[in-house]
Structure 1
């Protein structure tokens, strides 16, 4: 009975068209293949079967005949096909209708597989009597969802501040059971805060020190004091704006005995005329680290303060104390660099000080070995009248005087500059050991504003420029003269033959 082609396996469909070969006259002619040899019944995986053919006509020329032997594995042969059961994985746990958790059933499928991996009817494995797996159906368990369980809120803690408006109170809770499966998760907030009730703060406030009081004298040892008062604030003191408000002392409670004795009164000293004494302590400096090339390898820095010495009489300088320094550790310091700074020269003297990289002038930090000179010296010293040591390190004349130099370039003497005391000429003249007397020619040249020598005895740059300009001017004059003199000679070559001179052509006529 013929049925639909889709019910049959397409791989088992017999071939309807077969290729064939018609040998040419020069080709090798082979006999048809023999039948395949039989495979062993043991179905050894390594067993093979063979078939052969032989040559009927040799090829012409150097051509060769195709192979005459073929082999194939017996496993692929229908005589040696194996079958086995194949078991799938367990399915998901199936519960009763409307159930979300508890005991259920799971199953797995059983298939019959041929040795080449193809699925066949289960009856093929059943006919061979192959052993089946023990269980294809089994019970299973689905855990029920567990929601998160939290404890009750704890009691509110004490306020973090006893007074003011910045304190907070805290309460918390903890997780007793974590959520499992599809249960409700735990809340993210496990703590809460709330502001404390606002209460005023009361603190003892020390006032400023009073001037030093000497009983019965104008100077010497005395006593100074300051007041202690109770003030109210709201937690921002002493940074609160405006002055503090004074209230009854009972609001602040008892004050310490140390405050009443040591913090409210202390000895002081009022210097007498001519005495030297130390000033009050300065403010603490900024926190600074010990640095190397702009980097620090320590976390704790140092800050300092000092007391300056006031000397009222110079004759008491040796008996006066030295400047006092005090340091203490600090945190949050910064690295600074230090550099010597100088003012302009004034009468061979200038100010020298040390400046920090943030622009603050300090008394330490710069290396003493690299300190610039504060007083300028010339070698040899400037001993001539009206002479002074200049910034270049050579001797020159004061303003209103002109330098007269020796043949070796040193200052010989200073002469008054004509034309006013407020103008200093730059002229320098060379002289021998005898000083020349004044003359009209010397006065003329001394008033000339351009001088060939600089104050250090060297020739000025304008002299070189003037020399070069004069040389170029001479070359220009020579060239122009050469061109003017050679032009008539060139023109005479193009004129007509020369005529008689005018004197020879004169005929004595009065009109001539």
Structure 2
């Protein structure tokens, strides 16, 4: 069954059903179908509200279900993007008509088949672009006598893939005669299996129940089927309504199917009106469950918003990542959407500055003098050189003064010897000045090798020296001095 209803005053919004299947798997009729309807857009009008001016959509859009995120001004818009609220509900319920056998024969069948002859049907030349259901069984003959009559069968056009190619009719007719008029008198009816027994009509004691079947194929000669399509039998509930019997109400109507499409379950209930008079437990069932078949589940294409712009890189320097996202616009229950909604990719910015890193300071060294004024040092090592504009390394050697006990004064003879040595050096410099030769101030010896480290661990020192090899006459005698350098060594902890 299919139908369509316009949602006025919109020219192209509508609700309806398309090829709703009313058959059960057992080839019976569905007892009841309840279907909530959501609005669809036929794609012919470009308005987003009921009051939008009518303006054709060019090019015409595809027919699609409306969603809660289509447009902020839409009457169906939901800022939270939840499933769209159904706007209608259709309820179909089977009403049994007993004692009748109906044939699907139109009133003007004689006019339609007036030119039909009894020649064999040609092979099916249905175009591949036309998708049909299977042919229904042949109907009974329109004639109940041996006069010429007609019978028909029909099929449903499910899809037309190419509108430019015409699809053949969905009905087929052929001549026939009444019952007993064909050459083959052995006409038979093809019947379905019996459908499940109905509940017992009585809630206590004796009652009746029934079951039905239907004609799957009428006889080839067009005769009517005389095989019974319904049978009844007696049924007993609780055998006898005695003091041990349980009095219950009638069953309620079946609840809605648990599934909106495909196979589901439905329930119905009844209540205990009176427990057994003898005080025993009531064994009557109060809930009944059975399977229910709803229309086949159909999926719709996944509706997604465009990708957002890429986000900023997750870091300000070096290697990071960035993301972009999109939203699911169609309600999840209308289709199975497995498209990814988030993408992540790597991004690379200029290398991060690396600042200088150093070890902790070592312990202070011992004083370099055994008496009088001296100095001691401490050191630290560079563990990471600065890179890419990082902070430069600070000092790695620190020196501070140390003062020990006073040195003993030298004797008079020692002072005299030192004085004579100083006088001798002065006379030699004076002699060099008298010679008048303008020579370099002094000539230095090469640096000596570094001495062994003063400690094996926890920070020691090494020294090296450069001494004066030869002094020349000059007015800047004081600038020609021996030199000494100090560096840290063995800074690792003990």
TM-score scaled by length of structure 2: 0.20
Identify which of structures 1 and 2 has the higher relative contact order when contacts are C-alpha pairs closer than 8 Å and 6+ apart. 2
Q: Which has more helix, going by share of residues?
A: 1
Higher radius of gyration, 1 or 2? 1
